[in-house]
Chain A
Amino acid sequence: MKVLAPFVLVLAALAMVYWDDAPRRADLVFVNRGDVFTLDPQRMSYLQDFRIAYALYEGLVRWNNHDMSIEPAATAGPPEISDDLLTYTFHIRPQARWSNGDPVTAHDFIYSWQRLLWPDTAADYSNLLFVIDGAEEFFRWRTDQLAAHALGQQSLDAQQLLDEAQSRFEQTVALKAVGERILQIKLRAPTPYFLDLLCFAVCYPVHRPTVEGWITSQTIKAAIQRDGWHSVDEPPWADRRWLKVDPITGRLEQKHQWARPGELVSNGPYLLSEWRYKRDLRMERNPLYHDQPRIRSDSVLMVSIEDTNTTVLAFESGQIDWLSDVNAEYMADMLQERLSYETRYSAAIASLTLKGKSIDQALASLPPPDVGAGERRNIHSFPTFGTDFYNFNCRPTLADGRPNPFASAAVRRAFVLSVDKNAIVRNATRLNEPIATTLIPRGSIPNYHGPAGLPHHPTRARAELASAGWIDRNNDGLIESESGQPFPIIDLLWTTNTPRYKWISLELKSQWERELGVRVELRGADTKFYKEDLKLGKYMIARARWYGDYGDPTTFLDINKTGDGNNDRGYSNPLFDAALAAAANEPDSGKRLRLLEDAERLLMEEEVPLLPICQLVQVYMYEPGHLRGLTTHPRLVQYLWQIEAEPPELR
């Protein structure tokens, strides 16, 4: 067939291109939670991105991820903290180097944090640094400056605006390089979790000549290598490939095409050696990293597989050492298989763990599971630093102008008291999640003892409803107000991207209709529509979740502050705001935690703007004994450099 000839020719040509293009096996192969969005630490906001940032970059300090205590990283020792707890002085270790040999200096951190603070960077986490004296003022000032410029109210041109902003930053934000390697930071108020914030990837440094794309001569390169980039003059704008000032908006415009193998200069345990869009990302040991023994695997390969079933199959075929986000619809059944295995060997596991073995070590030393009998031991579910909950719309009126019954705290309490969360976890979610009565996961923050929250108590729930005036007055099984108006049909909003929320919402509907005499209508929406409705308050009850960012109760409680950008509930209570403010002004860290406990008690026992369902779990797949170095602390910060996999030929 001569007509097929051109097909064969073109195909052969294309096939040649891919003939030898298969990803090389690495010491550790894992599937992240989807592909990485960005390798720019200041622009990150997703877990999968942070995970790579912890491998490529290194901050001043880092967590010991097993107990979340703080240990030095790029610094030589713990910081000096002044007696008023406001001034922190860090000494950067002399061996700390960028991967091109440049020294890591205090200026690198000041530059990177300034980058995080510029509104021009549009970083999701700018406000983390607001604890530094002058930082919030600078952010607001620059925002106003740009807004005024956009309206034509400024006589200065963009470059002058920038110079003005630069000198203002230097004057007002309390970040100072005392010496090349000594960084001094002054806070606006004592912040017990400040070091915890610095462990967060967005505070990790970037290499200025790289992110700005400096085009420099060899002599200047040599000078930078000797003394750091701050010792040379900034190149003219024409010689910065990735940064320019927009003359119209006055904004600094950053391009991000510097995040490329060979171009990306980083200071962490690994170097970026390959990155292909939604395909794979490979990292190799950084030979200039100052703490070589810390790195357990010479190379790490992240493969991008998005289909939830395919990831499981890839793991089952032995190509993947660690599947970090199991989401297949049948994962509950796989967890059940693990349970059968554990049940069969429960006595042996108990005696091994008593002897001090970890659960993974215990499992690894047992006979392999009987796959035919539906057993497995390679799936693991860990509670995380996140809570699954349902929002109550707390605004006085609904989006369509009707009065909102959930504006009443008594009604909200009734809807919380009537829910049997154990039934939800048993029938709907089926991942063995610990049920939650508070917003902050229990035991996840040292020395913080949250309130009990509201129990499952249907009788009390009906009493609360009656106290708010909602009683079944005509014996039709449904409740009415004093004027005989029936309780509005409840608009329950959930997202359709996973079946999880359909099952939880159905369970809630049946429980509320049974216990309270109300009618619930389920409304499933795609994430985009859901988010829009959430922001506009177009719902009565809506699913939600929150993961904490740093090891302090405020990371959860703040989302209920009046006007907070993440307060989707429209909840506003001056008492609660005042309680948070009082805690913020309390210098004694113990007393401060007690104040926060009181604030959460007010929130979760009296006001309940949200209905906590359960602690979120993260499900991993790996062969116990073959993969080592994962932490199980609820914050689940996994450092890739401390994970090692047994080579496949040894299995």
Chain B
Amino acid sequence: MSALILRRLIQMPIILLVIYTITFALAWLIPGNPLEKEGRQPPPEIVQAMKAQYNLDNPWNFYWDYLGKATGVSWLLGRHDRPFDLGPSLTHENWTVNEILGAGLPVSMTLGLLAILIACLVGLGAGIIGAIRPRSWLDASTLTIALVGISLPSFVVGAALLVVFAVWLRWFPIGGWGGVRYMILPAITLSLPFAAYIARLTRFGMIEQLCADYIRTARAKGVPEHRVVLKHALKNAFLPVLSYLGPACAAAMTGSFVVEKVFAVPGVGQHFVDAVLSKDLTLIMGVVLAYSSLLIIFNLIVDVLYGWIDPRIQPT
């Protein structure tokens, strides 16, 4: 297990460098420049001078300079005053990318975790109910709801939830962040597709397990039904769900642009899309580096959990 973790940690910088390079190439190709504004244009010599200050006149310089400052190499070499400096945002000059990520990532992560938790509870519950009474009306209705959950785009669900629970019933505030009241609607919206998928995975896994020999044995021994379902069958039926949870967690926690936009949640998902639209290179690169590190770490955690929950699996 420790060999696995070590190997992954060694691979990490290489993967990050590849991601950094590809993202940089793509971002550089976006037309326009981040210092340019809507409407009025400053004189060309000013634009030129600004580009020079932020290395925007030379992709090669920008690539190495940013890489050095972001990784802390420049700091180690004594060329920069601090490590892991992702630079100032090019469009919001009062903020550094570190500050933007520092404020946005915890928000996106909280929202994502809450959504995954809701998705697990709802999805597992619905899946188990469906599996115990397959082809009953209960099963049919959970499957239908799951289908709807996967198919409905989040901006529709989000807007509908806002209208009903925030505008009509006034149970929740609209927009912003702070306190659990602000988290519930966006978390539910974000959790729906995940919950639906988990419900389907659980149902099929459970149906398969409930027909297995060891379940018949357990029942014959007189194990109470709830223990059969929750203790014996669910444990094995949960494995596919677990392997899905890794990427799902990463996807949910790195911020959903649509959900964050609809609920005005100040998370990184929204910042990232805005950054791409305005070609805010430092912010784009900073978010991508933070995202990919998170993604790699989550995948590692899931692999470790795999071995922990089912010792038969030897992760490689």
Contact = CB atoms under 8 A, between A and B. Distances in A.
A424 interface: no
B261 A43 contact: no
B46 A122 contact: yes
B288 interface: no
A310 B162 contact: yes
B290 interface: no
A317 B167 contact: yes
B100 A277 contact: yes
Contact of A257 (B44, B94, B124): B94
Nearest to A545: B39
Contact of B113 (A7, A123, A124, A127): A7
B37 A15 contact: no
Interface in A3-61: 3-4, 7-8, 10-11, 14-15, 17-23, 35, 37-40, 43, 45-46
Interface residues of A, number: 75
Nearest to A264: B94
Contacts of B96: 257
Contacts of A565: 41-44
A150 B48 CA distance: 12
Interface in A302-327: 303-307, 309-311, 313-314, 316-319
A276 B266 contact: yes
B80 interface: no
A37 B253 CA distance: 27
A532 interface: yes
B193 to A, nearest CB: 18
A40 B177 contact: no
B37 A45 contact: yes
A307 B262 contact: yes
B103 A18 contact: no
A549 B40 CA distance: 10
A3 B305 CA distance: 8
Contacts of B262: 307, 309-310
A278 B272 CA distance: 12
B9 interface: no
Contacts of B109: 14
A311 B96 CA distance: 27
Interface stretch (A98-106, A175-183, A247-255): A247-255
Nearest to A248: B52
Nearest to A567: B41
Q: Which of B32, B170, B183 has the most CB of A within 10 A?
A: B32
A119 B175 contact: no
A253 B41 CA distance: 21
A340 interface: no
B258 to A, nearest CB: 9
Interface string B42-84: 1111110110110000000000000000000000000000000
Given A11-B113, A123-B42, A309-B159, A18 B179 contact: yes
B95 interface: yes
B30 A3 contact: no
B31 A529 contact: yes
Interface string A368-400: 000000000000000000000000000000000
B88 A255 contact: yes
A303 B117 CA distance: 29
A10 B113 contact: yes
Q: Which of B41, B99, B106, B277 has the most CB of A within 10 A?
A: B41
Contact of A38 (B35, B36, B94, B120): B94
Given A7-B116, A257-B94, A313-B163, A46 B43 contact: no
Contacts of A527: 38
Interface in B154-210: 159, 162-163, 166-167, 170, 173-183
B126 interface: no
A255 B37 CA distance: 19
Contacts of A532: 31-32
A131 interface: no
B91 interface: yes
Given A3-B238, A249-B52, A528 B30 contact: yes
Contacts of A119: 45-46, 49
Contacts of A85: none
Nearest to B42: A124
B132 interface: no
Interface in A528-557: 528-529, 531-532, 545-547, 549
Q: Which of B31, B94, B109, B270 has the most CB of A within 10 A?
A: B94
Contacts of A310: 159, 162, 174-175, 261-264
Interface in B249-264: 261-264
Nearest to B121: A4
A305 B260 CA distance: 10
Interface string B19-31: 0000000000011
Interface string B112-130: 0110110010001000000
A278 B113 contact: no
A14 B113 contact: yes
Contacts of A20: 178-179
B229 to A, nearest CB: 13
B104 interface: yes
Contact of A15 (B39, B93, B110): B110
Nearest to A2: B309
Contacts of B166: 313, 317
A256 interface: yes
A549 B39 CA distance: 11
Nearest to B50: A122
B180 A547 contact: no
A259 interface: yes
A547 B103 CA distance: 35
Interface string A96-135: 0000000000000000000000011011111100000000
Given A3-B309, A310-B263, A256 B181 contact: no
A279 interface: yes
A459 B179 CA distance: 66
B242 interface: yes
B92 interface: yes
A260 B262 CA distance: 28
A21 B178 contact: yes
B94 A120 contact: no
A22 B178 contact: yes
Nearest to B230: A1
A124 B37 contact: yes
Nearest to A24: B178
A528 B49 contact: no
Given A38-B94, A277-B266, A22 B182 contact: yes
A18 B183 contact: yes
A-B CB proximity, top 4 nearest: A22-B178, A21-B178, A305-B264, A279-B266
Given A11-B113, A123-B46, A310-B162, 8 more contacts: A14-B109, A21-B179, A122-B49, A124-B37, A253-B53, A278-B271, A310-B175, A313-B162
7 contacts: A122-B35, A143-B46, A256-B94, A260-B94, A277-B99, A316-B167, A532-B31
